Chains A and B, each alone.
Chain A
Amino acid sequence: MLHFELVTPEKLVRSEEVHMVVVPGTEGDFGVLEGHAPFMSTIREGALQIFRTAGGEPETLAIHGGFAEVNDRGLTVLAERAG
């Protein structure tokens, strides 16, 4: 499972284990699965899709501004606004 955190300046919105997250990057959407290579991208205004299980229905969250970082601990999305 992928450890996923969504943080805004106001609070920690999510911190959970998920299957996959699709992030709206400035240069295109990208999906992050467990074991993704270290990566950093700014994000554009768009929908963040969270897949709890493989093949399941995604949960979408609107996010605005900020950036996403993938490291060996998982994916962290720092958004200025979420939800």
Chain B
Amino acid sequence: MASLKALKVRINSVKSTQKITKAMKMVAAAKLRRAQDAAEAGRPYAERLEAVVSSLASRVAIGEGSPKLLAGTGRDQVHLFVVATSDKGLAGAFNSNIARLARRRALELQAQGKTVKFYTIGRKGRAVLARQFREGFVHAIEPGDLGKLGFADARGYADDLIARYEAGEFDVAHLFYATFKTVLTQEPTEQQLIPVAIPAAPEATGAADAVVEYEPDEEQILADLLPSNVAVQLFRAMRENAASEQGSKMTAMDNATRNAGDLINRLTIQYNRTRQAAITTELVEIISGAEAL
């Protein structure tokens, strides 16, 4: 049986771990609120842009001259997986859930004879995927604190992706991230990033819509908006990821705090028992010593 001193040391060490996990939970809770507000604040822009792109796209016939971002390259061979995770661990299954979804999809596509390349945003996702897929890493970004990413960062990633697309490095890009549902559930999500998936335009736009004047013309506006749309989708994914990461971290740290509490209780009982046993032994020795006299 462990000595009293060893138990005492153990209890104290678990107590300080518990203090840390508790503090991390508080920090995650505070950051979560901010990340959630930010994710909500970004919605109006994304919704408007989506509406405009879909109404423009329905007006422009897809043909030879239409932008590649909309029409695609005409091939379906090389797939690029943009896997957005975070740089830090200690967030429960947040990073591994996203990576697992990406891995499953990659294996499916490879089984169909397609080439899969990876473009990772976040160190953790890269680490998990690199174990299984040694080749095909195009680029890896380490974004640091997800909550501090601005639209300019997303724009930079998007420009890089579009440049690679124009250079013919890949035909289709998929984006992987975790959608924030609630604090307890974050859903790993896959979304087609390039070519731009056009959501179905609302049908009854009315007669008023038919006389909209465009300046410059529709094609030109669309050519301007498509790269923006890629950036906005990326940005939205980052925001969702930031909220999901904090939500996941909060839950994970809450569990850790509770587990530490249970462990402390168990160890304390063991400590008390051991101490009592020592006292009893001592008493027995004294009494039997006295009787012997």
Contacts and interface: CB of A to CB of B under 8 A. Distances in A.
Interface of A: 7-12, 25-27, 37-42, 65-67, 69, 71-72, 76, 78, 80-81
Nearest to B37: A11
B167 to A, nearest CB: 23
29 contacts: A7-B48, A8-B151, A9-B42, A9-B231, A10-B41, A10-B42, A10-B45, A10-B150, A11-B38, A26-B215, A26-B216, A37-B213, A38-B208, A38-B209, A38-B212, A39-B212, A39-B214, A40-B212, A40-B213, A40-B215, A41-B221, A42-B224, A67-B221, A67-B225, A69-B48, A71-B208, A72-B208, A80-B151, A80-B155
Of the candidates A9, A39, A66, the one having the most CB atoms from chain B within 10 angstroms of its own CB is: A9
Contacts of A65: 228
Q: State the majority secondary structure of interface residues on A.
A: strand
A12 B211 CA distance: 28
A40 B214 CA distance: 5
Given A40-B52, A40-B221, A25 B215 contact: yes
A81 to B, nearest CB: 8
Nearest to A69: B52
Given A67-B221, A78-B49, A12 B44 contact: yes
B187 to A, nearest CB: 22
Contacts of B225: 67
Nearest to A38: B212
A78 to B, nearest CB: 6
Contacts of B71: none
B46 interface: yes
Interface residues of B, number: 30
Contact of B45 (A7, A40, A71): A7
Interface in B209-243: 209, 211-216, 220-221, 224-225, 228, 231-232, 235
B155 A11 contact: no
A66 B49 CA distance: 10
B50 to A, nearest CB: 11
Given A9-B232, A42-B224, A76 B48 contact: yes
Contact of A39 (B42, B155, B213, B235): B213
A20 B42 CA distance: 26
B45 A37 contact: no
B151 A9 contact: yes
A42 B215 CA distance: 7
A66 B209 CA distance: 20
Interface in B157-201: none
B41 A11 contact: yes
A8 to B, nearest CB: 6
A77 to B, nearest CB: 10
Nearest to A79: B45
Nearest to A12: B44
A72 B212 CA distance: 11
A41 B151 contact: no
A27 B211 contact: no
A78 B225 CA distance: 11
Contacts of B42: 9-11
